[in-house]
Each structure stands twice: as C-alpha cells, then as structure tokens.
Copies of this chain bind each other. A is one copy, B any other.
C-alpha cells in the first residue's frame, strides 16, 4: 500500500490525503480547494502560488520553473508553485488571494430577440371517461383519443410510463396531466391538473464559466439565471489544455465530463432551490458550448478536434436521454445539444448567430464572440463566413504577469495622463488593486499608445517618469505601487512580455476579421454593425479596442455589445423548436474558413500584430488620436 501523506490548506482548513510524491496541486484538487492552475499544472502559468506554513522540509527542492515564476522575495517568504512541489511528508500551506480563481464578475445575460413561444414540451390536462362494457377501449388509446381532441397526435408513450399507465390513470380517477414532447410522445402522466408546472433549463458551457437559465415553458419567462466557474478549469485553463488532459489518461475524459456535469447539476439545484420548482418538472435542458466543451459534456473524446484537420466528432444537433449525460432533470425528459459548425466554431457560435440574427440581416454584420477562442463571423442573410481565432486566455489574465480574472480588486479601467504618465485606475468592487483583468489590460495598452509610451510595434518607450523602468525582463510600466496593493509585496507592472502576449491575442482575432472581409471582398465601410459578444466583451472600452486594432475601424456607434448571446441562443432554442431548426440551418449554412489552411494567414497575422495594424490606412481615426511612433511596415508575401 502506498504511503498516504496529509496536506492541509489554509485558511479553509481543508485537508487531503495523497500518495507520497504527488504534488500540492494534486492535493488541492482532491481537497476541492480553490487554487488557480491556469495551465493545468504544466508549470508555465505560475499562478498556483502557495505559501508553505508547516513542513517545508517535506517538499521536493525548488525547480527551475519555480525560480522563474517566483521573485527572490517570495522564495524567502516560503512561496512555492503547487504544481511543482512534490510532497514527501505532511505539510500545511496557505493559498493567497491572488492564487484563487476567485468569485468572478460573471456576465451571463445577453440580448435575446423575441420569438413566438413553441417549446418541445407541453403539459395537457385531460379528463377521461372511465371504461365500461360498452366502451372497453384500452387505457393507452383512451388517453391518446383525449389528447387528440386537444390537438395532439400522440404516437408513442415512454416505456416507463406505459408500464405504470393502468395504475396511474385509476389512482388519479381518470383526471390527469400528460406531458408531451415533440407533440407526439407522452413522457409523463401525473394526477390532477398540474399543467402549469412545465419548465426547462438552458445552459451555456463556456471554457471558463457555466451559465444556467431556468425558464417557464408555458410563458417563456426566465425565472432564474445563475453562473459559476467551469469546474474543469483545474484540469486546464483553455480548450487545448483540456483536450490534452482528456487524451492523457484512461479516465480523464470521464473526469472532465463529470466535472462539467456536476457543475451544471449544481446550478440546476441552485435554480430549483431559489424558485421552488420541482426537479421532475424540468423536462428539457438545451446546451451550447464550443465544440470541445460540447464533446466533453456529452462524453465524446475531443482528441481529433485538437489535431489537424480539427474535425468535430459530432456537428449535428443531438437529443440525449438525461441519464446518458448525467443531468439531474426528469429522467424521461431530454438533453438537446445545439449543432457545431467546425472543430473550433461550436454550438455556442451557432447560438450567437441565432441570437444576433446575423443570418436574417440584409446588411453585413461582423460578429466576434470574444473568449479564450474568439469566433469571428461575417455575413448576412445571403452568406455567412466563420472562423475561429486562438486569441488565448491573455485577455482573461493568463500569461500576463499580474493578470487576473474579472474578480474583486482587478483593475478594469485605466487612464494615463498625457503629460505626467501617471495612471488613473478603477478596480472591481473599488477594492485595492491586486491584478489586472482583460478590460484593464486593453485600456492600459490603448492609453500607452495614446500617450506615446508604446510605438506601433508595441515596444515600450523610455520616458522621463518613474512609472517606466527597467525590469528583470526589459522595460515595464508601473500601474500601482506595492504600497497600494493589499499584499504590499510587489508593484503591479505591465511588462514588455505582457504587451507581446496581448499583441499575439489581438492579432489572432484581427486576422480572422481581415481574412473574412477579404474573402467577401468588402471594406470596413460595408460593415453595418460590429457585434461584440461574450462575457468578457461586455466590459471592453470600444475606443480602447479600436486603438489596439483588435477590431477593424468602424464608427463607435456601429459597435454593439450584446453580452452572453450563446446563453441567449440556448434559451431561444429551449423555448422554440423553430429556433432549433433555424440553428441547424445556420450550422449547415455557415461556410467555415480554416485559417491554418490559408497561405495568406501568416502575412495577415504579422500585419495584425502591429498597433492598430501594419497598414495604418485601415485606421485613419485611431492614427489621428495616438502619439505612438509609427515603426511598422506592411509585410508582403514574397512572390
């Protein structure tokens, strides 16, 4: 028997027994404590910092990775990376606030165009005449006939109900409520008139967050919305690291599936508790997510999605029994999952298109669903092109030295004085700054460009201010002095490397926009609306985004933030089978553009790396507003 070692976590006081030689991160996962591991324990994010308070002698020696991520000061204070430190005897560690994934500002709502209510599930009250010698009709036909009079042509009765039907009908005195799915299958029979209790759940499975919506299917009313972090995060921050994890071990796929399903079941429980709705009255769950999340939710190995040519295993919408997925709603109900378009343009993108109605528009619209992957779609009712860009988690704080998610203490807005270069920051919950979230990063870079602290190639410029200084990895800009932070341990800086990360991220999504526009042969003037969707998107300052060149230059009034439209699309499909048909049509109509397959991709990408773009003629308004020295040139493919 392997020796078991005890790891305690403060301040929670949680504990876990693990095998000798496993890491503190392994113990944290087992103890279910909140510890950030953005890279999935691979050692390159440096986020899983913990302070050893007892038993440091029982840990493996410091690794190179730890020396790289932890300052000398932190090393002295007993900091370790949980993914690196192996445990050979009992230890106790403290998890600092900034190593938490944290309670986040979750945007779960999004715009939703109204549609006629047409749910898949209906509940119908009927009173049946009891059988007599003159009318000895079978129980099933008696029920079916009564429902026919109400306009339902039932073809099938769920086997579980079928075997109980005679007793169900008689115990109810022949006055029952039948629950019908798709207008043709009876999935429940209850005594009395309980037709008002007909509910469904829409779920948006984001790589980072889960959002859950409890909807009254009789009225279309949204009764409760709630969200939580995707419990798969400890297994890997982004889609690719989840795919890697799923492939690496025998039961990893099931672990990931269980994590997300448990997370959704938790949200369902929350919604039920708050609304008082009974679980057996939840008849359908409609789910969306990107292709990898979709596959993991259903339990399909996403390995091939992560490997060229990135084909999804399943692109068609599918209907599954709740117990096959593990979802805790009425067992005879259904889980409906929206269709995918491609390996990296999933059901969430379909839902976004449905909710933003790009497919119905006469004018051209550019839709960007910003997330760890940013799906870009361009089109109208005639034609829609879509692509996926690996914008990465930089906008969510990963790979950024003091990056963090949009949680308490995150710097979310920044202004820089043109003369003094002093920043004016605002933080979430007005707390002391402990890091910087996506919208803050975009703001600070846009401001640095505006005031001339950056050139268009993204190089930090030396200026006469203590805010610009030489750091261990080149020049850096100090956003907050350590005295202003809660830990008082380190200055919050933006490093040259941080700016490179953002450049890579924004270049990715911009490349998607440029390539789709070229494919359709249109210029920025023809974009009637630039729609930014996604939880993260809602907080972006559009002006800053335009300065960075994350998006093509269109007038600010044409930029529209729509929030979490993946969730909106899921709700629409929950409430209307016509919307599902529309979603299926969208998924099959959209022309997917595989950027990696295009010869022009490399050139477009390099050009998009510049702020706002190597071709400054694309950004007349931005260029008129910023002081950044123009040091870029347009790359042309050699012919």
Residues of A within 8 A of B (CB): 131-142, 144, 156-157, 159-160, 162-163, 165-167, 170, 298-301, 303-304, 308-316, 318-321, 324, 340, 342-343, 592, 594, 596-597
* Given A314-B162, A594-B133, A138 contacting B170 (CB threshold 8 A): no
Contacting residue for A309 out of B131, B301, B318, CB 8 A: B131
Contact between B162 and A298 (Cβ–Cβ < 8 Å)? yes
CB distance from A304 to the nearest CB of B (A): 5
Question: Using Cβ atoms and an 8 Å threshold, which residues of chain B touch A318?
Answer: 156-157, 159, 162
Contact of A140 among B139, B309, B315, B594 (CB under 8 A): B315
Contact between B313 and A165, CB atoms less than 8 A apart: yes
Closest to A342 in B: B136
A166 touching B303 by the CB < 8 A rule? yes
B298/A166 in contact, CB under 8 A:
no
A-B contact pairs, 9 of them (CB 8 A): A136-B592, A138-B315, A138-B342, A139-B311, A140-B314, A159-B320, A159-B324, A162-B300, A165-B300
Please, which residues of chain B bring their CB within 8 A of the CB of A133? 308-309, 594, 596-597
Interchain CB contact under 8 A, A311 and B162: no
Select from chain B the residue with minimum beta-carbon distance to A325. B159
A140-B343 CB under 8 A given contacts A133-B309, A166-B304, A597-B134? no
Tell whether, in the assembled complex, residue A594 and residue B136 are in contact, meaning their CB atoms are under 8 Å apart: yes
Complex formed: what's the CA distance from A159 to B318 in Å?
Answer: 9
Residues A136 and B300 in contact, CB atoms below 8 Å apart: no
Q: How far is the CA of A257 from the CA of B241 in the complex (A)?
A: 50
Please name the residue on chain B nearest to A135 by beta carbon: B309
A sample of 15 more A-B contacts (CB under 8 A), given A133-B308, A136-B342, A138-B340, is A134-B597, A138-B311, A138-B313, A138-B314, A138-B342, A140-B316, A142-B311, A159-B318, A159-B324, A162-B300, A162-B313, A162-B314, A166-B300, A166-B304, A167-B301
Q: How many copies does the complex hold?
A: 2
- Point out the residue from B141, B311, B340 that lies within 8 Å of A315, measured CB to CB: B141
Known: A162-B318, A597-B134. A313 touches B140 (CB 8 A): yes
Chain B's nearest CB lies how many Å from the CB of A143? 10
CB distance B141 to A316 under 8 Å? yes
User: In the complex, what residue of chain B is closest to A167 when comparing beta carbons?
Assistant: B301
A581 to B314 CA separation, bound complex (whole angstroms): 33
Q: Which residues of chain B come closer than 8 Å to A343, judged between CB atoms?
A: 136
Partner of A159, one of B160, B310, B321: B321
Partner of A138, one of B132, B298, B312, B324: B312
Question: Given the complex of chains A and B, what is the CA–CA distance between A114 and B163 in angstroms?
Answer: 34
Bound CA–CA A363/B424 (angstroms): 99
Residues of B within 8 A of A137 (CB): 311, 315
User: Which 4 A-B residue pairs are closest in the complex by CB-CB distance?
Assistant: A138-B315, A133-B597, A138-B312, A131-B311
**Cβ distance A261 to chain B, nearest Cβ, rounded Å:** 13
Chain B proximity of A570: nearest CB distance (Å): 20
Please tell me which one of the listed residues B139, B309, B340, B592 contacts residue A312 in the complex, with CB atoms under 8 A apart: B139
Query: In the assembled complex, how far is the CB of residue A289 from the closest CB belonging to chain B, in whole angstroms?
Result: 15
Give chain B residues whose Cβ lies under 8 Å from the Cβ of A301: 166-167
For A135, the chain B residues whose CB sits under 8 A away are 309
Docked pose: A340 CA to B144 CA in angstroms: 15
Measured CA separation A319–B158 after assembly (Å)? 9
Residue of B nearest to A308 (CB): B133
Q: CA separation between A166 and B301, bound complex, in Å?
A: 8
Give the docked Cα–Cα distance between A316 and B138 (Å).
9
A593 to chain B, nearest CB (A): 11
Evaluate contact between B304 and A170: CB separation under 8 angstroms. Answer: yes
Contact residues in B for A166 (Cβ distance below 8 Å):
300-301, 303-304, 313
Chain B residues contacting A321 (CB-CB under 8 Å) are 159
A131: B residues at CB distance < 8 A: 309, 311
Query: Do residues B136 and A310 form an inter-chain contact, with CB atoms below 8 A?
Result: yes
Closest Cβ neighbor of A144 among chain B residues = B316
> B residues within 8 A CB of A138?
311-316, 340, 342
Query: How far, in whole Å, are A79 and B308 apart by their CA atoms in the complex?
Result: 81
In the complex the two chains form, what is the Cα distance from A596 to B165 in whole Å? 25
Interchain nearest-CB distance for A22 vs B (Å): 30
Q: Which of B132, B139, B314 contacts A139 (CB 8 A)?
A: B314
- Cα-based distance from A308 to B134 in the complex (angstroms): 11
| Cross-interface CB contact of A299 among B141, B163, B314, B592, cutoff 8 Å | B163
* CA gap between A157 and B592 in the complex, in Å: 23
User: Which residues of the partner chain B approach A165 to less than 8 Å between Cβ atoms?
Assistant: 300, 313-314
Collect the chain B residues with CB atoms within 8 Å of residue A162's CB.
Answer: 298, 300, 313-314, 318
